[in-house]
Amino acid sequence: MKVAFFSAKPYEREFFKSTDPNGIHAFTYFEARLNRETASLAHGHVAVCAFVNDRLDEPVLEQLADEGVRYIVLRSAGFNHVDLDAAHRLKIKVARVPAYSPYAVAEHAVALMMDLNRKIHRAYARVREGNFALEGLMGVDMHGLTAGIIGTGRIGLCTARILKGFGMNLLGYDLYEPPEAKQLGIEYATLEHLLTASDIITLHCPLTPDTHHLIDANAISLMKPGAMLINTSRGEVVDTKAVIEGLKSGKIGNLGLDVYEEEEYLFFQDLSDKVIQDDVFSRLLTFPNVIVTGHQAFFTRNAMEAIARVTFGNLDELEATGKCANLVSPESHWVMPEVLRDDNF
C-alpha cells in the first residue's frame, strides 16, 4: 500500500524501515506536520500515517479524501486529534496503536515524580557549577505518601504497580474498576476525595469531552497544599492558566508535564534558536518546581518497535480485508478543541 508518512523523524524511519525490510508497503516520508497546507502531499497515497500533533480535522480529512486517501493509521494510542465523525462521513477508516508500551509512559511519569521530589534537575545544575550545598534540595519519602491515579487503564495500572513498590497508598478515579486494581490495593474514590487526599496526582485518562480541563481552578482548590501534579496524558486535561495560578499560590507544590495544551506549536522540533511566542508556556518554565518534557513519555526503543510493528499489522489487515481490529469509530469518545484554534504559528 502507498503510505504518506507525516511528521517523520529520522528515529522513526529507522524503526519503520527495519520492521518492513522488504518494503511490502511503499512509504513516502514527509517531515512536515499534516495540516491544511500540507494535506495535498498525500496525493497518490491510499493511506496516511500520522502522529499526535498532525491535524486531522474536517477540512484536512476532506482534502485527504479528495486526494484518494482511504485509511489513516495513527502512530499513537490517543485519537483525540481526529474528527472521527468527518472520517466516517468521508468513508476514511482510522486505525491506531491501542497499546505499545504502557511501561514507557508509567516509568516516565514516575521519573518526573522522583525528579521533582528529590530536585534532581536542580542538583544536576548545581553540582556541575561546583555548588554542593543542600539547601533547597530536601524531598520527602515516597513511602507512605498517597498517590491519586486518574484513569486506571493500561498506563494507570502500570503506574500503580510501580508506586505500590514504593509503599505508597493508592487512590483511583475511573469510570471502571479493572479487576487487577483490587489486588494492587487501589481504593476507588470520587474525584473530589482523590484531589483532597492525594500527595501526588497523576493523570492517565484519555482526552474526552468529560476530561477536558478536568484539572481546573476548582479542582486545584480541592488539592492538598503543596500537592504534586503529573500529566503524561494529554495537555488539554489540564487548564494550564489555572495551574500557573496554583503554582504561584503554592497550592501546587510541584508540576511535571510531558504534554501541554498548545504543544502542537512547540513539541517535536528544535526551536532553540527561536523566541518562544507562547507566554503561558514560557511562564511555566520560570518555576523552579516545574519540569516539562516534550511529549517523550512514550519514547523507548520497545515502544518504537511496537508502534512500527502494530502499524504495519494495521496496514496489512486494511489492505487484505478493508477492516482492522484497531479501528476507532465515531462512537469512540473524542474531543478536538484545536479545530477552534488559529492554525498560525
Q: Does 235 bind ligand NAI (CB under 6 A)?
A: no
**Binding residue count for ligand NAI, defined by CB under 6 A:** 31
Our CB check for ligand NAI shows the closer of 35 and 53 to be 53
| Coil, strand or helix at 4 | strand
**Which residue in the set 141, 180, 192, 210 belongs to the binding site for ligand NAI (CB under 6 A)?**
210
Q: For the chain, what's the residue count?
A: 345
Whole-angstrom distance, CA of residue 306 vs CA of residue 325:
16
Stretch in the footprint of ligand NAI (CB under 6 A) among 7-15, 30-38, 116-124, 232-240: 232-240
For residue 334, the minimal CB distance to ligand NAI (Å) is 10
Under the binding rule (CB under 6 A), the answer on residue 311 touching ligand NAI is no
The CB density around residue 1, as the number of other CB atoms within 10 Å, is 16
181 contact partners, CB below 8 Å, separation of at least 6: 152, 157, 160, 172, 188
Q: Which of 12, 30, 8 is nearest to 308 (CA)?
A: 12
The secondary structure of residue 186, as a DSSP letter, is: P
Cell 522488504, residue?
A: 22
Binding marks (x or -) toward ligand NAI, 133..172, rule CB under 6 A?
-----------------xxxxxxx----------------
Query: In the complex, what is the shortest distance from the CB of residue 272 to ligand NAI, in angstroms, rounded to a whole number?
Result: 21
Q: Which of these, 271, 344, 268, lies nearest to 52 by C-alpha position?
A: 268
- Please state, in angstroms and as integers, the Cα–Cα distance from residue 180 to each residue in 156, 171, 187, 213, following that order: 11, 14, 12, 28
Stretch near ligand NAI under the rule CB under 6 A, chosen from 32-40, 59-67, 228-236, 311-319: 228-236
Fill in the amino acid letter for 215. Answer: I
Distances (CA, A) of 196 to 73, 237, 251: 40, 18, 12
Choosing from 25, 154, 204, 234, the catalytic residue is 234
38 vs 232 by CB, closer to ligand NAI? 232
Binding to ligand NAI (CB under 6 A) within 172-191 occurs at 173-176
In angstroms, what is the minimal distance from the CB of 232 to ligand NAI? 4
CB of 47 to ligand NAI, least distance (A): 21
CB 153 within 8 A of CB 197: no
Of 46 and 261, CB closest to ligand NAI: 261
Per CB under 6 A, residues contacting ligand NAI are: 77-78, 99, 102, 105, 150-156, 173-176, 204-208, 210-211, 232-234, 258-259, 295, 297-298
